[in-house]
Amino acid sequence: MRLLTHNMLSSNIRGVVNGFPLRIEVGKVVEKNVEMNGDFLKNMFVKIDWKAFVEASQSMGYTELPEEADLSMLDSDEFLNRFHHALLELHLEEGALVCPETGRRFPVSKGIPNMLLHEDEV
Amino acid sequence: MSSLCCSSHTSLHHLQKNLYNRNGTITTTPFRSTSSSVKTTGSVSYNRVSAVNTREQEMVLEAGIEENKKKLQLGIAEFYDESSGIWENIWGDHMHHGFYDPDSTVSVSDHRLAQIRMIEKSLTFASLSEEASKWPKSVVDVGCGIGGSSRYLAKKYGASCVGITLSPVQAQRANALAAAQGLADKVSFQVADALEQPFPDNQFDLVWSMESGEHMPDKAKFVGELARVAAPGGTIIIVTWCHRDLRPDEESLQPWEKNLLKKICDSFYLPAWCSTADYVRLLETMSLQDIKSADWSPFVAPFWPAVIRSALTWKGFTSLLRSGLKTIKGALAMPLMIEGFKKGVIKFAIITCRKPEDVEGE
């Protein structure tokens, strides 16, 4: 699971008011190189919740992102590289995503989050 | 007047409740006011639950429904865990119908192009723009299979696509194919329930459900989730199997029609069917705009004879034998699909709409 995906996921357990963002419990992080696509990054930048993204990347062990960011920073290659790396190249292979309100763990196995709810959570 | 519903279904007064019944069809259309008379369909009888059932009886019903839902989910996951491999082997990485010229004879080699044509026709029907500046940037593929649509849409639009499936095997395969095609940055797949999508509201420019609606036991909830995760101004595309629309004088399908559908349901892990008109009504209640629907049955009818022919080839036959009982059972239902289409019971429908730009009260 990449951080781009993480930034789109939320806990929809019944009764939870704000299930975003999910906390990351790291089991195993793997880095996979991916070719950079500037247009794609620019499109994604406006959709990303930056604060959640920075927090998530820190929990994955990457601390090179600025706490705040704006569109103008996309002109900097260095920023673009870091953004690209954190967004697309860090994979949570094993671990869990944790609901911020209930603490419920959604397991991540072989890079795939299992977001299925149990009967009593629906 | 106090006869209990059987454990597999419950009151019909509220579309949100399970519209399952023994015969595998929804026997009343949404928002029709419940009559006070007792209706019977075969061995099943039901009445206005709110007037008659006690709280305890309702809890028993609820427990029964939850158990059925769990069974269905597991059945679907296992069916696709088992069948995905053989399907991909013969038909490729798209798991949906192709769009054909009616009356054509189809072979496997035509199929992939036809499946792509189905995607393109659906996008055009939903009036998605060819202008790059108006392309969707984020897509959710609801019931994504092994990710064929997601990868196609990611390539076409340069969009980020997220797919959800109940089958861990499919999610795994989908990710592997994405990586192999250099799309690992743009597409990702999760195990999740389409009725409880793990996304915040208003997320996706394009909400795509290509032949997954048939598996959803609660159509209202399914459509509600599609609407919830769509971004304001976003497009929802549903391509699905429905039963024919009921005539104004009809309460339900004819018994022989219900029988046919039930056999198909059992083979493919499908819950109750609804009609295209039911979908349109649901979308209307959610204040979605530009609702359009069409019957594309003639354009997919050539598909099932082709599937049967492929199953009768040496490769098809041996693959089936190696796959498993669930897949074989599914394969045996293929003539039923042909019968259903021929007799006008089964319709292949497309329903599209847009979420309004101004979303109040979100």
| β-pair partners for B163 | B141, B189
Share of chain B above pLDDT 70, in %: 84
What are the pLDDT digits (tens) for B245-266?
999 999 999 999 999 999 988 8
pLDDT for B73 equals 86
- DSSP class of B156: H
Determine contact: A17 vs chain B, CB below 8 A.
no
Residue B40 clears pLDDT 60, i.e. is over it: no
Structure confidence at residue A21 as a pLDDT band (50, 70, 90): very high
Distance in Å, alpha carbon of B124 to nearest chain A alpha carbon: 23
Distance CA B49, CA B35 (A): 11
Distance CA A119, CA B13 (A): 23
Share of chain B above pLDDT 90, in %: 52
Distance in Å, alpha carbon of B233 to nearest chain A alpha carbon: 15
Do A35 and B160 count as a contact with CB atoms less than 8 A apart?
no
Residue B309 clears pLDDT 90, i.e. is over it: no
Q: At A49, phi and psi to the nearest 5?
A: -85, 105
Lookup result for tokens 């419990």 = A25
Mean pLDDT of chain A: 94
Backbone dihedral region for residue A12 (phi beyond 0: left; psi -120 to 50: alpha; all else: beta): alpha
pLDDT for A10 equals 95
Residues of A with CB below 8 A from B192's CB?
Answer: 113-116
Distance CA B69, CA B64 (A): 9
Do A40 and B184 count as a contact with CB atoms less than 8 A apart?
no
pLDDT for B53 equals 56
Mean pLDDT of B30-39: 31
Determine contact: B200 vs chain A, CB below 8 A.
yes
pLDDT for B302 equals 84
* A 51-90 near B (Cβ less than 8 A): 88
Distance CA B241, CA B272 (A): 11
pLDDT for B129 equals 92
Q: Which domain holds residue B260?
A: 62-355
Mean pLDDT of B10-16: 30
User: Could you tell me which residue, B76 or B200, shows the higher pLDDT?
Assistant: B200
Residue B49 clears pLDDT 70, i.e. is over it: no
Q: Which domain holds residue A26?
A: 3-121
A58-62, B74-78, B99-103, B204-208: least confident range: B74-78
Distance CA B19, CA B60 (A): 16
> For chain B, how many structural domains are there in total?
1
What are the pLDDT digits (tens) for B107-123?
767 888 899 999 999 99
> For chain A, how many structural domains are there in total?
1
Residues of A with CB below 8 A from B186's CB?
Answer: 40
Smallest Cβ–Cβ distance between B200 and the set A5, A20, A106 belongs to: A20
Pair A1, A108: CB distance under 8 Å: yes
Smallest Cβ–Cβ distance between A112 and the set B70, B73, B168 belongs to: B168
Distance CA A17, CA B317 (A): 52
Determine contact: A119 vs chain B, CB below 8 A.
yes
User: Does residue B317 fall inside a structural domain?
Assistant: yes
User: Does residue B51 fall inside a structural domain?
Assistant: no
Query: Within 10 A of B278 (CB to CB), how many other CB atoms are there?
Result: 24
Q: What are the structure tokens assigned to B332, written together? A: 């045996």
User: Does residue B114 fall inside a structural domain?
Assistant: yes
A71-80, B223-232, B290-299, B326-335: least confident range: B326-335
Smallest Cβ–Cβ distance between A119 and the set B66, B184, B191 belongs to: B66
Distance in Å, alpha carbon of B137 to nearest chain A alpha carbon: 7
Structure confidence at residue A82 as a pLDDT band (50, 70, 90): very high
Q: How many pairs of residues across A and B have Cβ atoms under 8 Å apart?
A: 88
Distance in Å, alpha carbon of A67 to nearest chain B alpha carbon: 23
Q: What is the DSSP string of A36-77?
A: --HHHHHHHHTTS-HHHHHHHHHHTT---S-SS--GGGGG-H
Determine contact: B264 vs chain A, CB below 8 A.
no
Distance in Å, alpha carbon of B188 to nearest chain A alpha carbon: 7
What are the pLDDT digits (tens) for A31-66?
999 899 999 999 999 999 999 999 999 999 999 999
User: Does residue B19 fall inside a structural domain?
Assistant: no
Residues of A with CB below 8 A from B181's CB?
Answer: none
pLDDT for A80 equals 94
Residue B10 clears pLDDT 90, i.e. is over it: no
Mean pLDDT of B270-283: 94
A96-105, B26-35, B249-258: least confident range: B26-35
Structure confidence at residue B188 as a pLDDT band (50, 70, 90): very high
Determine contact: B175 vs chain A, CB below 8 A.
yes
Mean pLDDT of chain B: 81
ipTM summary value? 0.89
Determine contact: A41 vs chain B, CB below 8 A.
no
Distance CA B65, CA A122 (A): 13
Determine contact: A105 vs chain B, CB below 8 A.
no
Query: Within 10 A of B74 (CB to CB), how many other CB atoms are there?
Result: 12
Do A11 and B198 count as a contact with CB atoms less than 8 A apart?
yes
**Distance of CA A107 to CAs A4, A117, B135, B147, B166, Å?**
17, 11, 33, 21, 14
Determine contact: A39 vs chain B, CB below 8 A.
yes
Residue B32 clears pLDDT 50, i.e. is over it: no
Structure confidence at residue B42 as a pLDDT band (50, 70, 90): very low
Residue B76: name the closest of B272, B240, B273, B269 by CA. Answer: B269
User: Could you tell me which residue, B24 or A40, shows the higher pLDDT?
Assistant: A40
Do A116 and B137 count as a contact with CB atoms less than 8 A apart?
no
What are the pLDDT digits (tens) for B52-70?
457 777 777 777 777 788 8
Residue B22 clears pLDDT 50, i.e. is over it: no
**Distance of CA A59 to CAs A54, A68, B35, B327, Å?**
9, 17, 58, 42
Distance CA A52, CA A19 (A): 12
